[in-house]
């Protein structure tokens, strides 16, 4: 079974109604990045940051996976699929994808302020207990914080994502500006002989010398077109 690796960004979740950070009208226009997406902002005003992510978390049960998420999951019928996502929502999992690497953390998880990447400190939140409050403690006694990789922090899953990318027989990029590193550099690891498909309605800066086919459509419409192409490959 061929290895299919799919890198997804905000454009995938936007079709489910989750507002993006970078586009016009996105979350960054309402909040300074430095205030809600850096460790310095968190240390300066932890309540502001906790409230910001509590609000994001409360939105999750109100949205559903889009057709694009469902089509990505359906490809597991024909391929060994790994999804590498820059998104912190759980829509890929809810759509049925079984192997998902979250580069930037997971909104439905909380962790230790002192040791955020220690697996023993990470807890999964549920719909009945979604908020993190000042005074909520991790197992090590430090304040619980969102399990989110903020700007300037190390990306603990990047090495695994690079290794998976280097094994891809087919590589697909959906709904990402390829502006955020190190995630944007993953296309550099794709083998030269492996076909690459880019699904995005906009022109995307492409720093890799790897040839690619650009499907200029949104995530769901683009995945409809790509699925038909990939079925033919799977049947060969």
The CATH number of whichever domain residue 7 belongs to comes to 3.40.50.1220
Q: Are residues 226 and 117 in the same domain?
A: no
Q: Are residues 177 and 96 in the same domain?
A: yes
- Domain holding 142, by residue range, is 19-62+109-148
Q: Are residues 140 and 78 in the same domain?
A: no
Q: Which residues are catalytic?
A: 104
What's residue 113's pLDDT? 97
Q: Are residues 176 and 224 in the same domain?
A: yes
Q: Are residues 98 and 116 in the same domain?
A: no
Q: Are residues 188 and 225 in the same domain?
A: yes
Quote the CA–CA distance of 32 and 123 in Å, as a whole number: 27
Q: How many residues does the chain have?
A: 236
Q: Are residues 133 and 223 in the same domain?
A: no
How many domains is the chain partitioned into structurally? 2
Q: Are residues 214 and 133 in the same domain?
A: no
Those residues whose C-beta lies under 8 Å from the C-beta of residue 111, and which sit 6 or more positions away, are 117, 118, 121, 122, 123, 138, 144, 145, 146, 147
What's residue 24's pLDDT? 45
Look up the CATH number of the domain holding residue 137.
3.30.1600.10
Q: Are residues 58 and 73 in the same domain?
A: no
Q: Are residues 226 and 170 in the same domain?
A: yes
3-state secondary structure at position 70: helix
Quote the CA–CA distance of 115 and 123 in Å, as a whole number: 13
Q: Are residues 26 and 11 in the same domain?
A: no
105-112 and 144-148: which strand pairing?
Answer: antiparallel
Q: Which of 91, 124, 148 is the last residue of a domain?
A: 148
Candidates 230, 235, 236, 232; CA nearest to 81 is: 230
Sequence-ordered strand ranges (E) for the chain: 3-8, 80-85, 100-102, 105-112, 123-124, 144-148, 170-174, 196-199, 213-215
- In tens digits, the chain (236 residues) has pLDDT values of 999 999 999 889 988 887 655 544 555 557 788 889 999 999 999 999 999 999 989 989 889 999 999 999 999 999 999 999 999 999 999 999 999 999 999 999 999 999 999 999 999 998 889 999 999 999 999 999 999 999 999 999 999 999 999 999 999 999 887 776 777 789 999 999 999 999 999 887 776 778 889 999 999 999 999 999 998 887 76
Q: What is the side-by-side strand order in the sheet with 80-85?
A: 100-102, 80-85, 3-8, 170-174, 196-199, 213-215
Q: Which residues pair with 124 in a beta bridge?
A: 109
Q: Are residues 28 and 42 in the same domain?
A: yes
Those residues whose C-beta lies under 8 Å from the C-beta of residue 27, and which sit 6 or more positions away, are 19, 20, 21
b vs e for 171-191, b when ≥16 Cβ sit within 10 Å of the residue's Cβ?
Answer: bbbbbbbbebeebbbbbebbe
């Amino acid at each position: 079974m061929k290895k299919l690796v799919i890198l997804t960004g905000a454009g995938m979740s936007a079709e489910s109604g989750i507002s993006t950070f970078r586009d016009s009208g996105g979350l960054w226009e309402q909040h300074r990045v430095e205030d809600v997406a850096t460790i310095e902002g968190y240390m300066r005003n932890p309540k502001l940051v906790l409230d910001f992510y509590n609000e994001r978390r409360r939105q999750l049960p109100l949205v559903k996976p889009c057709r694009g998420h469902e089509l990505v999951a359906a490809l597991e019928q024909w391929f060994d699929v790994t999804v590498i996502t820059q998104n912190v929502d759980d829509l890929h999992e809810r759509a049925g994808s079984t192997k998902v690497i979250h580069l930037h953390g997971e909104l439905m998880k909380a962790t230790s302020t002192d040791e955020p990447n220690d697996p023993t400190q990470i807890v999964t939140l549920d719909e009945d207990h979604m908020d993190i409050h000042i005074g909520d403690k991790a197992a090590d006694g430090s304040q619980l914080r969102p399990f989110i990789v903020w700007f300037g922090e190390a990306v603990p899953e990047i090495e695994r994502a690079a290794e998976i990318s280097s094994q891809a027989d087919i590589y697909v990029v959906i709904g990402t500006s390829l502006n955020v590193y190190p995630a944007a550099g993953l296309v550099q690891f794709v083998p030269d002989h492996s076909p690459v498909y880019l699904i995005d309605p906009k022109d995307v800066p492409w720093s890799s010398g790897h040839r690619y086919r650009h499907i200029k459509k949104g995530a769901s419409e683009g995945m409809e077109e790509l699925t038909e192409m990939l079925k033919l490959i799977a049947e060969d």
